[in-house]
Structure 1
């Protein structure tokens, strides 16, 4: 079984994290074939939205600017287009954020998406994440998939 993860990576940190997550999933699958593999899709500014046919998770970096004492999300608009197309958001099982924990805006983009689409914000990791973040997030994704399947 595959679990689909769609993500955005502006600086490359999220990309490196999801690649490690995918590798960890492969290792876990080799140990226990019931452990899901992970397929990845990167959303970029030139990505054309398509209809997603299976459930998925979204991993987003935090990129914001402050304007008139309000934060404004920047750079992730293509993800909104992707989620809105064909109501793809209805297949999303949760959002995972990345960012700088010392910032008051830690994982704010993923939290804002979760709030906007009324889909759970699951967790966050800092920068490129640690090996324990990879293990923790894989376990969380696996649990969410099991709950969805066996509800």
Structure 2
């Protein structure tokens, strides 16, 4: 194998890694910003539009405070703010890691994130979570 071929493969790998590394950089920037700018203090972030209009919690309510707690290495508080967001993080890390490995190996990108049945199950879980966190017996899920 010639040096030019090796250099082309290395350049191609770096180009393929730019997207997942960009996502990691953007995610790190969000975690750093939310870790510094406390969402528990009023006036830093806008109110959730769904909460503001209806008075009910959406599935994402409490996620900024969850990120802030995780940025400060406080998983117990993070779970209290939005347990679904905390439970989703390992799956997101897995998919991101799989993306990095495929890019490094030069394998083509997958056009599907997961089997459609898993995606529909996740959507159903979000809907159930949305309803239950707004019912009296699900108050422990509210931020």
TM-score, normalised via structure 1 length = 0.31
Asked which structure has the greater RCO (Cα within 8 Å, sep 6+), the reply is 2
TM-score, normalised via structure 2 length = 0.32
Which one has the bigger helix percentage? Answer: 2
Which one has the bigger strand percentage? Answer: 1
